Structure 1
Amino acid sequence: MYDNPVISGFHPDPSVCRVGDDYYLVCSSFEYFPGLPLFHSKDLVHWEHIGNVLDRPGQLPLPLPGAKASGGLYAPTIRHHDGRYWVINTNVDGGGNFVVSAERPEGPWSDPVWIDLSGIDPDLAWEEDGTCWCAFSGPEGGINMARIDPVKGEVLEGSFGTWSGSGLKYPEAPHLYRIGDWWYLLIAEGGTERGHSVSIARSRSPRGPWEGAPANPLLSHSGTARSIQNTGHADLVEAPDGSWWMVLL
C-alpha cells in the first residue's frame, strides 16, 4: 500500500527508469539552479534525493538575464542504455534541446550535447541495433520524431510528424517504449490545467502509423470532483516482476 504523492512539493514532469532493482527519477526545475533534481528508490514509493543532473554552471547557464518564471528546464527524460545513464531535456531560455550522460546516476554528468531540434519535452528510445529515436513536442503542434546520434548530437533522420493524440488540445510530453513486437507512444494532451490527460498509441515501427487506444485518455481527473486535479505528464516503468507502473504530476 502507498499514499500519493510519493514525492511531494515542487517536482513536476517526472521521468523514471529502472536499472536492476533500483529506480531513478528526474523532474523539471525550470529557472532554478542546480537543475533537474534526481531521486533514487527501491520500491517506487520511498524516494531519496541523491543530487542534481546539472550542478555545474558550465552545464547550465541559469539564471539567465531576463529568464522568466516557469522558463528554463522543461520536462526531462531519464533512460539507461549501453551501460550509461542518459537525460535529454530542453532549456527554453537558451540553447534548446540537449543530452547529458553519466556512468553513475550520482554523476558526474557530462556537459550538454546540443541537438538541432525545434520543440520541447524530448524523449530517448533505442532499437536493438542501437538506433536512437527522439520523440518530442513539435513547434507546430503534435508529436514529432527524429533519429539521432545522442553522443554527437546529430540529427540523422527527420524530424517528421507522427501522432497528434486522440483529439484533445496540446499533445506533448511523449515517451516511446519498445515492448515485445510493438512500439508504444505515451503522451500528455488536453492542456496542463483541468483538461490534463494521458493517452497512448501503438505501432510496429517508431515511424508509425500509430493506432490510438480505444479507451483514450487512459488517465485524467478532468470532469471529476476529485481533490487532485491537473493530472498528466506521465512516464512508464516495468518492475522486476513484470508489472508496469506510471509516475505522473
Structure 2
Amino acid sequence: MAGDYPDPSVTKVGNTYWATATSSNWGPAFPLLKSGNLTSWALVGHVFPDGPPAWADYYFWAPEISQENGRTYVYYTAHQRGGNLAVGVASAPNPAGPYTDHGPLVGQPHGSIDGFPMRDESGRLYLIWKEDGNSVQEPTPIWAQRMNEERTALVGEKVELFRNDASTWEGNLVEGVSLVRHNGYFYAFYAANGCCGSGCTYATGVARAENLLGPWEKYSRNPVLMNNDTWKCPGHGTVVEDKGRWYLLHHAYNTDGQQFVGRQGVLSEFVWTESGWPSFKGGSTPVASTAAGPRSFNDEFTGPALRSSWQWPIEQRPSYRLQGGRLYLTARPDHSGAALGQTTTSPNYTAVTTLLNYTALPAGTRAGVAAHGDQDNALALLADSQKLALTRIEKGETRILEEAVLPADKSVQLWLRVREGRRFSFLWSVDEGKTMHPLPADGTSVDGSFLPPWDRGIRAGLLVQGPSSTKAVFDFFSLSNQL
C-alpha cells in the first residue's frame, strides 16, 4: 500500500480483501481500499466521505475493519470534541458503505485508542483496546470488555490483558493489538515503543493465552518483527490468512522516504513454529522486500466531483466547483488557506499545475502549488495579480522567501520539485514550460524538513489564500513520483 497508510487493517468479504488505514487530520476520514490478492490495492472510497461524525473533530486513527453476519464494522479512534481520545464504531451493509456511525464506545480520562473486536472461547463479543497512558507518562494497559451484539455499548467490567514492561524492548507503550485464534490459543500481535518520526523505535511482539481474558504469556523471543534494510519501525497491523498462508498487514517507514512519505502498508508473511509461536519468514523480510513502485497522478478536472484521492485538513474542508475542465477553488482566510493534497509515494516527485486568469485575482488573494505538512505548515509558490511569492508557513506564521514580478498574461504554470523528501525547488513559466524560471532566482532549493507532523507524511497539491468571497481557477494538476 504505497503512500501514507498507517495502522492498516484488512478483512476478506467473498473473494475480495477490504482495507482501511489511519487518516489522522486529513479528510475524508478513513480510506477504503480493495484488492483481490493483498498486494494490488485500489482506493474506492472513504468511511466518512461527507465529513467526520458530530462527536469527533480530529485524530482519526487506527480503524479496524471486520465483517460478521453480513454486516461490516469499523472500530476507530478519534478525538472527542471537548474531551480526549475515544474508540467509536460505524457499520454498513457492505464494505463499500454507506456507513452509519454509532458513536463512541469508550473514552477514558487518559484516552482510549486502537479498538479491536474479538469473541472469546464461548462466543461472547468483546472490545479490546489500549488505555493511552503514555500520553501522561503512565503505563499502557490493554483492556477487554464485553460488548453488546448491536455494537453500540460496552457491558460489564473491563479486564486487563497485559501492559507494557518499560524495562524491556517495549519501552513506554504497547498498542495496536490484533488478535487471531489458532490451534487452541488466542494470539495478540502488538506494537511497542516509539511509533513515529526519524527517531522511531517501533517493533512488533506477540503474546498468547488459552482464554481471551488470560492469563497472557508474552513470547520470550520478542520482538518478532523489526527493522530491515528496506523497512523501518514495523508495527500496528492486522493478521490475515490467505490460502493457508499467514500474513501481517502492518505499516513501516521505507528507509528512503522515511517520515516525508509517511508510514506505508507492508505485507509480511509468517509461519507457525512447532512450539506454536509465529516466525516471520526471513526474520523481518516482508513479502514485498522492496518498496512498491512510485505511483503518479493526473487530474484534468473533467469529472462531476474531485477524485477520491484528494485530501484536505479534516476541519477545513474546502469549497469548490468543477466546470468545463477547470477547478474553481474558493479561498480561505484562516490557517494556511484552502488546501487540497495528494499523498506521495516517493521522496522524489514533481507536482505541476496551471493557474488561470491570475491577473483577475482580487487584492489579498494568492493561489498556487504547495507542499502541505498540515493546515499550519506549508511551502508554496503563490501568485497574486502581479507577482509570485515563494512562501513558507511554519506553525501558522507566514514568511515570504522571495518574489518575482509576473507579466500580464492569461495563465502561469507552477512547478514543485522535491528530492530526498526535504529539498524543495520551485519554477514557473508563462509559455507552457518552454521557458522555466526558478524561484529563488539562483535555483537553490528550500529546506522542507519542518513540514511533516509527527504522525503524517507530506501532501503535494494546491493552496488558495484570501477572503472566502474569492476563487482561483486551475486547469490541471499532476503529480509524478520518481525513484
TM-score of the alignment, normalized to the shorter chain, above 0.5: yes
Residue 151 of structure 1, CA deviation = 2.0
Aligned mates of 1:183, 1:157 — CA distance in 2: 21
1:244 matches 2:246? yes
Name structure 1 gaps, 5 residues minimum.
Answer: 1-6, 65-70
Deviations 1:41-62 (A, max 9, x none): 0100100111101123363567
Letter in 1 for 2:142: I
Find the aligned partners of 2:149 and 2:5 in 1 and give their Cα distance: 26
Distance 1:19 1:128, change over 3 A: farther
Cα displacement (A) at 1:165: 4.9
SS of 2:235's equivalent? coil
SS state at 1:72 partner: strand
1:147 corresponds in structure 2 to 146
Q: Which amino acid aligns with 1:230?
A: C
Q: Are 1:203 and 2:209 an aligned pair?
A: yes
1:72 to 50, 59, 65: 59
Q: Distance in 2 between matches of 1:132 and 1:28?
A: 24
The alignment status of 1:84 with 2:66, answered yes or no, reads no
Partner of 1:157: 156
Partner AA of 2:184 in structure 1: D
The answer as to 2:201 corresponding to 1:186 is no
Conserved in 1, the CA contact under 8 Å of 2:29 and 2:51? no
Give 1:212 shift.
Answer: 1.4
Query: Distance between the aligned counterparts of 1:58 and 1:227, measured in 2?
Result: 35
In 2, distance between residues paired with 1:85 and 1:128?
A: 22
CA distance in 2, matches of 1:180, 1:117: 34
Q: Answer with 42-51 or 52-61: which moved more.
A: 52-61
The alignment-based identity, stated in percent, is 26
Aligned counterpart for 1:217 among listed residues 196, 204, 223? 223
| In 1, Cα distance between equivalents of 2:116 and 2:15 | 23
Is 1:108 the counterpart of 2:102? The answer is no
CA contact (8 A) 1:192 1:230 kept: yes
User: Which residue number in structure 2 is paired with residue 3 of structure 1?
Assistant: none
Partners of 1:31 and 1:60 in 2: CA distance? 15
1:37, CA displacement in angstroms?
Answer: 0.2
* Residue matched to 1:67: none
- Computing the radius of gyration from Cα coordinates, the structure with the larger value is 2
- The answer as to whether partners of 2:102 and 2:152 remain within 8 angstroms in 1 is no
Q: How high is the TM-score relative to the length of structure 2?
A: 0.45
1:29 aligns with 2:28: no
Asked if structure 2 preserves the Cα contact closer than 8 Å seen for 1:35 and 1:60, the reply is: no
8 Å Cα contact 1:17/1:24 also seen in 2: yes
> Is the Cα–Cα contact under 8 Å of residues 165 and 199 in structure 1 kept in the other structure?
no
Q: TM-score, normalised by structure 1?
A: 0.85
Aligned 1:44-55 pairs, distance under 5 A: 44-55=38-49
CA positional deviation for 1:16: 0.9
| CA–CA distance in structure 1, aligned partners of residues 66 and 121 of structure 2 | 15
Residue 68 of structure 1 corresponds to none
Rounded Cα–Cα distance in structure 1 between residues aligned with 2:241 and 2:146: 24
Root-mean-square deviation (CA, aligned residues, Å) is 2.1
Among 118, 125, 132, the residue aligned to 2:125: 132
Q: Per the alignment, do residues 72 and 182 of structure 1 end up closer, same or farther by CA in structure 2, a change over 3 Å counting?
A: same
- 2:115 aligned partner: 122
CA distance in 1, matches of 2:28, 2:131: 27
CA contact (8 A) 1:165 1:212 kept: no
Q: In 2, are the aligned partners of 1:113 and 1:150 still within 8 Å (CA)?
A: no
Whole-angstrom CA distance in 1 between matches of 2:177 and 2:132:
14
Query: Structure 1 residue 195: deviation in Å?
Result: 1.5
**Structure showing the higher strand proportion among its residues:** 2
Q: 2:50 aligns with which of 37, 52, 56?
A: 56
Residue by residue over 1:44-92, the C-alpha shift from the partner in whole angstroms, topping out at 9 and shown as x without a partner, is: 0100111101123363567x4xxxxxx5211111111111111101112
Asked whether the equivalents of residues 40 and 47 of structure 1 are also in contact (C-alpha less than 8 Å), the reply is yes
Residues of 2 paired with 1:11 and 1:134: CA distance? 23
The 1-side partners of 2:46 and 2:220 are apart by 39
Kindly state the Cα deviation for residue 102 of structure 1 after the two structures are TM-superposed: 1.1
On the 8 A contact 1:196/1:230 being kept in 2, the answer is yes
> Offset of 1:234 from its aligned partner?
2.1
